[in-house]
A and B are shown apart, each in its own frame.
Chain A
Amino acid sequence: MSMQTLRTTSGAGWVGQLAEAGRARATRAVFIAVGVAVAYYVGARIGFALTAAPTPVSTLWPPNAILLAALLLSPPRWWAGILLAAFPAHLAVELGSGVPLSMVLSWFVSNSAEALIGAVGVRRFTDRPTQLDSFRQVGVFVVFAAMLAPFLSSFLDAAFVQWNGWGTDSYWQVWSARFFSNVLTILTLVPAIVTWAARDLESLPSVSPRRVLEATALAGGLLLVCTVVFSQPGLAARESPALLYAPLPFLLWAAVRFGPGGASAALLVFSLLSTWGAIHGRGPFVSRSTSDNVLSLQLFLIVTYIPLLALAAAIRERAQAMSDARRTGEWLNLALGAAQVGAWDWDLLEGSRTWSENMPVLFGLRRDENGKIERSSVLETIVPDDRPIVQAAVTQAVEHAKPYEVEFRTARPDGTVRWMLSKGTVVRDQAGRPRRMLGVSTDITARKDAEAALRSESALRESEARLRVLADAMPQIVFTAKPDGTVDYINRKWHELTGSPPGDVSPDTWLAAIHPNDRAAGTESWLASVQAGRPYENEARIWSAGAGTYRWHLARALPVRDESGAIIHWYGTATDIDDHKRGEQALRESEWNLRVLRSELETHVAKRTMELSRANSTLRQEVEVRRRVEQALRSSEERFSKAFRASLDAISIVSQPDSRILELNDRWEAMFGYSREHAIGRTIDHLNIYANERDREAIADLMRTRGYVHEYELDMRHRTSTPLRAVLAAETVEVAGEPCVIIMVRDITERQRAEREIAVQRSELAHLGRVALLGELSGALAHELNQPLAAILANARAAQRMLARENLDVPEFQAILEDIVSDDRRAGAVIQRVRALIKKDETELHKVSPNDVVADVLELAHSDLIQRAVVVSTRLAPSLPEVQGDRVQLQQVLLNLIVNACDAMVDNPPSLRTLVITTSERGGAVRISISDSGTGITTQPIDAVFQPFVTSKRHGLGLGLAICRSIVDAHGGRLWAVNHRGSGATFHVLLPGATTAPVMAPDVAQAAAIPPV
């Protein structure tokens, strides 16, 4: 404030700078006082210079204006000081020009009064320092400072002049001269001082050179024009109007381009020059008397001043308003941008829209080639589903005056969808018609996302809770796992079973409940399933706390996937399969035992077979030797005797007439236990080597009738009565002209024993085969047996209930009893059949009907065939010869072939599981054929399928067909197989008729038996 004051008093800013350097308040006050005094004094001198004599009033009286400006620029508490400082200057000026003291004092009073009135009026009606940069300030200034103050003070001044008797003019002349003079002075000087005092000198150097150039041009032009106009001597009055307006363009230029400061400066120059011209009788205002000239000049200047000042203020005000508006806009955009809020303004009548700068970014609006936002793109950014909602909201707001508030989604050009919230209000004109709609939009995607997340999370939690209640109610173990396989839930059943604390699903706890031997494999296969995302299945033992043992469980788990196929969760169950598992194990163990038994048996059979073949080869050797001996006998007695002695058969030569023993060999001695000396000379009868008299007689008979005996098998005995089985051959020969009989005996006791043993083994093996077969059929047989048992039980219970009633339905009751009896028989028959098969009998040969055997076997297999969905058809020849054989073993063969056929068809669809059993006669023999539509025989050659341990079954031993073949062989028959050309195979069993010879010519028989397919 003090700075401004100082500047004002000096009229230039450099004094202000000095004052600033002075700092101290007192110093500043002194400076101000001195400044005001100096300015007052200088101003007064100028005023005197511009006073047109003889008027006591100056045309332009600066001191008053300077005093007013000083008061306007300083706070009221300074005013007294300022007036005091001006007083000496006033005295000095006025007294120096010879004015009486009373007049001098009077003028000071009137001048001070004027300054005070103006300053008080302006201060009262403006609220900020006077800058004259607004219309209001100019108005207040003109009314109070420029008009009212001179108007009032001039009354005082004129009165003082009259009172002192100064001058010659009348009261009103003085009043009007002073009024106009002071109005002009105030208008001329105060604006210039006030505006320039506010100017900061420091900012001047930063003014652009162009501006300086313009100001210079303006000043030069104005000076030139004013000089030309106002210094022209004796200008004709009639020419003046045109010239008078020549400076106006420059004044307007200053007002428009340089504001109040420029305008006031230009006006100052203009008025000084015009006044100077008018006083010195030059320029357009020189016409009549000087006072008239001055008055018209003053009026002219006053009239020019006020509009120009107003114009400059208006222009400055507008510029200020524009810059304010610009700054407000910038702030708004800044605020909107920071808050992510877009604002918009929609002119409903014209349809034009205005958006805040960030709206295009918020909405992802398109711009056309001119950079303007395309109007249509606003609606397009809204997701099509939400457009009706937005439009409905707009309609509601415009037509029904509802507040506009709508949430909708927008699709960005990059494809992302954002949630927006728009709020707005409709602006209406006085008639209530909607004119504009104003509003803001903001991105609420984050809030929406959070809400959605919250909602889905709670829904998930709820459904999970429901699932858990359900899972806890289940009798099985139920568990769930995260996509990485971490178990995150196991139901109550688990905790009840294992005794682990409820809710504890940590891997350590649940792994501890699994059998140590199953942990690694279980974990491994679980992880493999999790990794591959395929269903998990595993068997493991789980600790049962209640039972105190581990129980087998079957665990299964399935992945649940989301739309993209990614696994969300695993759901699994574990079911107790312990009973089932133990059953399986028991079965495996029994199978194993059977296998061991069989293999032992097989070894035994092989050993015996070897022994037998060794015996055979020995026999062959012996035959050869004997042949040679005979040859030798015929050729040479010497060779005969050697051979005779060396023979492995017991040889004796008996005289035919009296049966006395003539000669015998070493082997004979050993075989019968008699020494040579003891035997020779005695008869055979005497030695009693025949076990049965019958044989002796038969041999004698044969010798008598035919003269020889070949291969006669008989029982003989050692001297010690040890029985011998032997083969005897006898021939009549002539030795030294005497008819003799040469008898050869071969001990076959050992061989026969081996043969018998083999037969026993074979029958045992067949029995084992039957047992195994029954094992395979056990399920079906149980069913077969349970069927009648169930019927009996139900019937019996029904009968009991009937008995409990009053009137008994006797026929029905009888029917029940009959059913019970027949079911009992049915069950008995099943048991009989099974018992027959399972019985360990010696082979018994009977006459058997092949068709009966087929029927037996189908009864046994009935249930099994149903279960395997195999359809059986039979083509049985009506009149077949009977065969000689063991019924049970033949059943076994057929049953085995049927089971094999079913196994071969297990992978066929049910409609293609057909089994055909055919019986037919083939030249006195009977052929039974079993055809299937299965996989056929894969062994090469086909016949290899009958070798032991050749099997295509998973659990088979490969003994079944080998046993079948040995059975059929033992029956003197043949068993062979052929593959069908399509699928399947046929097994043929050819058995000799009971009345015919064994089928000994396999080649011929086979040729006749092979089916044409």
Chain B
Amino acid sequence: MAFGTLERTKFVTAASELARNTLVHGKGGTVTIIEVERDGRIGIKLVFADEGPGIPDINRALEDGYSTAKSMGLGLGGARRLVNEFDITSAVNVGTTVSITQWKRR
């Protein structure tokens, strides 16, 4: 699956932000890479899952400048702007799952 340079750069940068969150805040976790297809379009989806402390206030965590550790501040909100689709679910003391999808341009 070949993406354009800009799409690739944005997606990999978003993945880097989210992987760091999984490591730093989630105390480690997994990432799953999935090839997806919808309405004849193909794309790539990454799912970052951890069983860390969870995020009490997701809307606040998506704001720029929100930070709970030294490396944070732009991660979640920034990553959301870089990808086509962004989903997050989180429960305190259960963990956080973030998935991002980039669709290949037709």
Q: Does A associate with B in a complex? A: no
Residues of B within 8 A of A (CB): none
Residues of A within 8 A of B (CB): none
